[in-house]
Chain A
Amino acid sequence: KETEFMIRSECSLRHSASLANKVFIQRDYTDGTVCKFQTKFPSELESRIERTLFEDTVKTLNNYYAEAEKIGGQSYLEGCLACLTIYLIFLCIETRYEKVLKKISRYIQEQNEKVYAPRGLLITDPIERGMRVIEISVYEDRGSSGSSSGSSTTSSSGR
C-alpha cells in the first residue's frame, strides 16, 4: 500500500538523511472545483530538481485527476446504473474515480523511486492530505548542517 511504501521510503531516507523541510504545492482553482494543482515551480526546490521534471509530474497528476472527474459517457452510465440500483452498486464495484486514484498512487510511487528519492525528495499522495496539497518532503544528508529550513521563510515571501 501507498502508506507502507511511504514509511519504508521515509525510513530509508532517514537512515542517511533527515527531514529538512516540506514544500506544499497548493490547489489551482482557476478552472473551478476540479482537482488541479499549481504548476508553479517552488523556489525551495530550485537546487534540488530540474524544473521540467517537476512540471511534468504535476501536469501528469493534473491530467489523471481530470480523467477521474471527467463528465462524459462512462460517468453518466455509471451514474444512471447507480441510480437504478438505488446506489447499492457502489458497494460492489469500484467507481472510475477510485480506479484512477489507484493509478495515481502507482504513478507517484514510480516517480518517487525513479526521480525524487535519488534527489532526496519524497512526494506524498495528495489523497493522504485530503487533496489539499502535494506535499514534497525535502531531506538533507545528515552530514550537512541541515540549515536549509531557514531558507523557506525568506523564499516563501516571493510567491
Chain B
Amino acid sequence: MKNCEYQQIDPRALRTSTTRTSTNKNVRVRRKWEVFPGNNRFYCDGRIMLARQCGVLPLTIGLIFITSGLFFIFDCPFLVHNLTFFIPVIGGVLFVFVVITLFQTSFIDPGILPRALPDEAADIEKQIDNSGSSTYRPPPRTKEILINDQVVKLKYCFTCKMFRPPRTSHCSLCDNCVERFDHHCPWVGNCVGKRNYRFFYAFIVSLSFLTSFIFGCVITHLTLRSQSMNGIIQAIKESPASVVELVICFFSIWSILGLSGFHTYLVASNLTTNEDIKGSWSSKRGEESGNPYTYNNIFTNCCVVLCGPMPPSLLDRRGFLLPDDAPQIVTSDTELPHFVAKNDTNMCTQGTKELLESMAHSTVIQSTCAPDTPKTTPVPQESLLRTVSITVSPSSKSPSTGCSVCQARCPIDAPCSQRGNKQAALHTHKPMLRVSSPPYSLGHSPIILSDTPDMGFIPLN
C-alpha cells in the first residue's frame, strides 16, 4: 500500500496543459512509436516491433539456421545422390516456412491495447470513485459481466488505466495489455496474443515438422553411410556435422512436439495458455463452469482461431505525433497529476489482503473501506447481509456457500457480498448474476469480498 500513491486525475488540469505551446519550432515531428510507453523496441521506423527483452530470439534463429545449414551442406548431397532430390526441396520449403512464421510472430504487434488517454482515465475514475478522498488508495477494482451465461470478471489495469476486455492480460515484461493474451514467449522475443497466435502456431507446427524431417534424414544418412562404410564410427568420422544436427534435433523434438500438441489442444478448445494455466474455466471450480468462448465444436474452434479475421494493429506506430497529442499520452514523464502506477498484481493482492482482514473482522461495512483493527472472530454471513442495503431472498442451502443466498434476488447492479473464507471461492464462477452493463454502481451496495488472490473488489458506495 505504501508503494502506491493514488491521486485522482483532474481533467481540468489536463486541459490547461494543452494550451502550452511548443516553443521550439525546429523540433522534428515525431512518430507515435517514439513515445510509446510500453517496453518495446522498434525498428525500420516503426514497422517492426519486438519486446525490449528479446529473450533468446537470437538463439532460436541461430539454432534454426545452423541446423538447417549443416543439413543442406553435409547431408543433402549424400541423400540426393543416394535417394531423391526431393529431400532438399522439402527441407527448403519447411525451412522457409519456419523462418517466415518466426519473423511474423516476433516482429508484429501481438494485439497490444494502447493505454487510455488521461481524459478517459479520469472519466472511469469518476465513475468508480467511492469517497473522492485522495489520501486513501482505493482497493483494486473489478467489473463483472455475463458472457454466454458465464460470469467473467474484468479487472482494472492500473498501468493502462482501463478495464481490460475479456481475455486480455497485462504482460509485465512488455508492460502492455495484450488482447487474447496467450503467453510471453522468450524464444520468439515477443508476447503471443490475438494478432500473432496463428503465426506462432504455424511456427511451432512447421518447426516440429522441420526438426522431425531433419532428424529422420540424418538418421537415414548415417545408416546408409555406415552400411557402405561397414561401421557407424567411420560414418560419423566422415560426416561429423550430422552428429551435431542429431543432438540439436533430438533435444528440440521433445519440447517442440509437446508444445505443438499442447497448442493444438488449446486451439481445438479455444483456450489460451493463460486461461489454461490459471484454470479459469476448469471444472474443479464448479459444475457450471465452462469456457464461454468455445463454439463446442473442434473444427469451428480451429477455424475461428486460425482462420478468423485478422484484426489490424491498434497502435498506429507510424502515425505522426500532432503537437496537441504529445501531452495527452499517459507516460511516466508527464507532469500531469496522475497515478503512480506500480505493479498491478502487487497492488491487487495487497489491497485484497487488507480488505479481507478488515471485512472478516468488522461488523459494519463501510463504503470507504477503512481498515479496522483485526479481531479474532469472523463475522457470520447473516450479519454481513443485514448491514447491506440490498434485498436478498434466503435461498441458500448452506451458509458456507456464501453468495448463494443473494444470487436469486440481487438487484442487477449490486454484486453479492461474500464471506471472506475459502468456501466463498466455490461459487464465484457460477453464473448467478445477470448484471447489466455497467454492473457496478455508486448506489448503496456492499463491498465484494473474494478469497482468491486474483479476484478483486468492487468498492461500492
Residues of A within 8 A of B (CB): 3, 7, 19, 22, 24, 26-33, 38, 40, 68-71, 75-76, 78-80, 82-83, 86-88, 90, 95-98, 101, 127-133, 135, 149, 152-153, 156-157, 159
Contact = CB atoms under 8 A, between A and B. Distances in A.
A110 to B, nearest CB: 21
A156 B123 contact: yes
B322 A7 contact: yes
Given A29-B154, A87-B101, A159-B127, A98 B312 contact: yes
Interface stretch (B141-149, B184-192, B358-366, B376-384): B141-149
B214 interface: no
Contacts of B167: 33
Interface in B295-314: 303-304, 306-312, 314
Given A83-B202, A135-B120, A30 B310 contact: no
Given A32-B148, A33-B165, A68-B309, A76 B120 contact: no
Contacts of B116: 130, 132
Nearest to B119: A22
B12 A75 contact: no
A90 B310 contact: yes
B113 interface: yes
Interface in B129-172: 145-148, 152, 154, 162-163, 165-167
Contacts of A153: 126
16 contacts: A19-B15, A29-B147, A29-B437, A33-B165, A33-B180, A38-B437, A71-B304, A71-B308, A76-B303, A79-B303, A79-B308, A82-B307, A87-B104, A90-B310, A101-B312, A130-B113
A30 B412 CA distance: 14
Given A32-B148, A127-B312, A132-B120, 17 more contacts: A19-B15, A22-B123, A29-B166, A30-B145, A30-B147, A33-B166, A38-B437, A70-B309, A75-B308, A79-B309, A80-B307, A82-B307, A83-B202, A87-B101, A90-B310, A130-B116, A131-B314
A97 B311 CA distance: 6
Given A32-B293, A71-B309, A156-B123, A129 B117 contact: yes
Contacts of A79: 198, 303, 306-310
A128 B329 CA distance: 13
Given A26-B438, A30-B147, A33-B166, A86 B101 contact: yes
A88 B199 CA distance: 11
Nearest to A18: B15
Contacts of B163: 26
A28 B124 CA distance: 15
Contacts of A38: 437
A79 B201 CA distance: 14
Nearest to B154: A29
Contact of A29 (B12, B104, B165, B441): B165
Contacts of B319: 3
Contacts of B127: 156-157, 159
B166 A32 contact: yes
Among B114, B117, B154, the most chain A Cβ lie within 10 Å of the Cβ of B117
Contacts of A40: 437
A87 B100 CA distance: 9
Given A29-B166, A30-B146, A83 B119 contact: no
A18 to B, nearest CB: 9
B181 to A, nearest CB: 12
B442 A27 contact: no
Contacts of B199: 87
A5 to B, nearest CB: 13
Contacts of A7: 322
A130 B319 CA distance: 14
Given A24-B120, A30-B437, A97-B311, A83 B293 contact: no
Contact of B312 (A3, A86, A95): A95
Contacts of B309: 68-71, 75, 78-79, 95-97
B97 interface: yes
A87 B309 CA distance: 12
Contacts of A70: 309
Contacts of A152: 123, 126
Given A101-B312, A131-B314, A24 B303 contact: no
B46 interface: no
Nearest to A79: B307
A29 to B, nearest CB: 5
Contact of B310 (A33, A97, A132, A156): A97
Interface in B83-137: 96-97, 100-101, 104, 113-117, 119-120, 123-124, 126-127
Interface string B406-431: 00000000000000000000000000
B292 interface: yes
A43 to B, nearest CB: 12
B250 to A, nearest CB: 27
Nearest to B123: A24
Contact of B120 (A78, A86, A133): A133
